[in-house]
Structure formats: C-alpha cells, structure tokens
C-alpha cells in the first residue's frame, strides 16, 4: 500500500457549467518507485483543459508519470503540482483510467459508475441519475445492470470512462486505456472519447505507445524515451479530428517517430 496521505477532496459541482480543468505540472521531477527512478529531470506543464498525449516505447516511464500525477507515487525529486499545489496523494478531482480491468467485478456497471459518487457522499437518487446519464453517454444505457465479466472488453473500457467522468474530476489521467482493444473497437473508443470530452473542461493526460493515437487525440504530444522527457509538440489542428487525416499530421508523425527512435 502506498504511504502517501490522502488529500481531502470531494468537491461536487451542482449541475451547471463544468468545472474548469486542473493545471498539472512537474518541476525538475525525478519519478519512479523508491530506489528505482524511471524518469529524470522532467519539467512539464499541462495547462487547464488541455489534452496532452504522452507517447513513448514500453517501459519508458509513461505510467510512472501518470501515477505521479494521480498521487499514487510521490516524486523522488522535484515537484508534482496540481493548480500550483503539491500533489500529496490521490484525490477525487484527478481520476485515473486503467488499461487493465479496474472495474470492481462484484458491482454491476451501474454500481461501478456510482462508486465515485458514493465516495463523494452524493445522495442515492442523484447517484442513480448521474450514473444513468454517464452510462447513456458512453452507449451502455441498456447494459447498466450487467456485471463487468458479462460484457465485452470494449464495453468495460467504456464503463471505466463513464466511471472516471461521473466523479466530475478536473483532470482525467488515462493509462493506455484502449491498449488491450482490437483495432475497430479502439477507433470507436477514440471517437467516443473526443466526443465525451466535449462536455467537460477537464484536463486530460493520455498515455499511449501508439504514435497515431497520440496524434489523433492530443492537443499536444509529449515524447518520452531514455528515462527523460524528449520534448513536446503542439498538434496544429483543432480538436475536430476529421481534419487530422491531413498531410500536415503526416509530417508531424514522421518527426515524432524520428525523435523517438533517435531519442
């Protein structure tokens, strides 16, 4: 178990305009498990509301970076901050979406989506309504009463997304959430993510090893490799991703792949 203390979090916006995203930053940070640093000297700022994709080969420390923002790992050196405040532990306003099945198998999809709301002491009726709304939003309305192992992998990831967003987080940290899905399902999930994020102003850090996915989703791409941050690139397109099939992305893709391989 992690020794980090937990920051008291729950803020619960009434229905209304979405809360603004959190500004996340690392300042000269060394990241990793105690005694096993994975990333050195990382300085990175994610402005409020940005969708930053983090791309790099397996084992380069992408998950470490994400878990540090989530508060599951304390930085070994330097600082990790959210809105300028040091991150001292997990909190409801920074939701984490896992690659593996992190749905609780003994709860139905509805029960899983209600969980962050229950943690925030939202009343039962309101929980029900919120969960129904989010499950509908990700296209699982009819599956709400099913247990996780009774639905497909893609549906489980949709439910995870709904669960993360139901808690009205100000930052969503996604750890290769679509990594285990087949190609068609993955494309569908990317479209869904873009669409769902339109409703929220949450800051998103999305980790992937897939350069195309990183360019398709990101407002900005951070490149990791060799235990360090290699740099970031702005994606010169609005979030309307249909434009991204364009030639300009292809040039950027070449550049990113080049930077990752020469490292």
User: Which residues are near other proteins by CB under 8 A?
Assistant: 1-2, 6, 9-10, 70-72, 90-96, 98, 100-102, 104-107, 115-116, 118-120, 139, 142-143, 146-155, 167, 173, 181-182, 184-185, 188
Report the residue number, 129 or 151, with the smaller CB distance to other proteins.
151
In the complex, least distance from residue 118 CB atom to other proteins, rounded to whole angstroms: 8
Report the residue number, 40 or 163, with the smaller CB distance to other proteins.
163
Of 57, 82, 10, nearest in space to 207 by CA = 57
Report the residue number, 100 or 199, with the smaller CB distance to other proteins.
100
In the complex, least distance from residue 247 CB atom to other proteins, rounded to whole angstroms: 30
* 207: enclosing H helix or E strand: strand 203-208
In the complex, least distance from residue 52 CB atom to other proteins, rounded to whole angstroms: 18
Q: Find out whether 138 and 109 touch, Cβ atoms under 8 Å.
A: no
Q: Find out whether 12 and 22 touch, Cβ atoms under 8 Å.
A: no
What is the DSSP code string of 22-68? PPEEEEEEEEEETTEEEEEEEEEEE-TT-EEEEE--TTSSHHHHHHH
Burial class (CB in 10 A: 0-12, 13-18, 19+), 129: middle
Distances 8 to 22, 204, 223 between C-alpha atoms, Å: 16, 21, 32
Report the residue number, 183 or 247, with the smaller CB distance to other proteins.
183
Report the residue number, 190 or 249, with the smaller CB distance to other proteins.
190
Nearby residues of 245 by Cβ (< 8 Å), 6 or more positions away: none
Report the residue number, 14 or 106, with the smaller CB distance to other proteins.
106
In the complex, least distance from residue 251 CB atom to other proteins, rounded to whole angstroms: 32
Distances 186 to 42, 131, 196 between C-alpha atoms, Å: 30, 23, 15
In the complex, least distance from residue 220 CB atom to other proteins, rounded to whole angstroms: 23
In the complex, least distance from residue 121 CB atom to other proteins, rounded to whole angstroms: 10
């Amino acid at each position: 178990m992690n020794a980090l203390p937990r920051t008291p979090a729950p803020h619960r916006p009434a229905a209304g305009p979405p809360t603004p995203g959190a500004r996340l930053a690392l300042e000269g940070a060394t990241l990793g498990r105690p005694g096993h640093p994975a990333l050195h000297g990382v300085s990175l700022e994610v402005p409020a509301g940005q969708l930053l994709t983090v791309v790099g080969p397996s084992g380069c420390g992408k998950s470490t970076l994400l878990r540090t923002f989530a508060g599951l790992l304390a930085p070994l050196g330097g600082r990790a901050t959210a809105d300028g405040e040091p991150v001292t532990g997990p909190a409801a306003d920074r939701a984490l979406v896992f690659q593996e099945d992190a749905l609780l198998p003994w709860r139905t999809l509805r029960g899983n989506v209600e969980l962050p709301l229950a943690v925030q002491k939202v009343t039962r009726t309101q929980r029900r309504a919120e969960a129904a709304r989010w499950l509908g939003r990700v296209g699982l309305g009819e599956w709400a009463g099913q247990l996780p192992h009774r639905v497909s992998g893609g549906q489980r990831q949709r439910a995870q997304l709904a669960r993360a967003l139901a808690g009205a987080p100000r930052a969503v940290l996604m750890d290769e959430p679509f990594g285990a899905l087949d190609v068609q399902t993955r494309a569908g999930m990317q479209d869904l993510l873009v669409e769902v994020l339109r409703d929220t102003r949450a800051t998103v850090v999305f980790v992937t090893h897939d350069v195309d996915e990183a360019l398709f989703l990101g407002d900005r791409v951070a490149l990791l490799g060799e235990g360090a941050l290699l740099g970031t690139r702005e994606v010169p397109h609005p979030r309307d991703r249909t434009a991204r099939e364009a030639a300009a992305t292809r040039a950027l893709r070449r550049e990113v792949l080049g930077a990752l391989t020469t490292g």
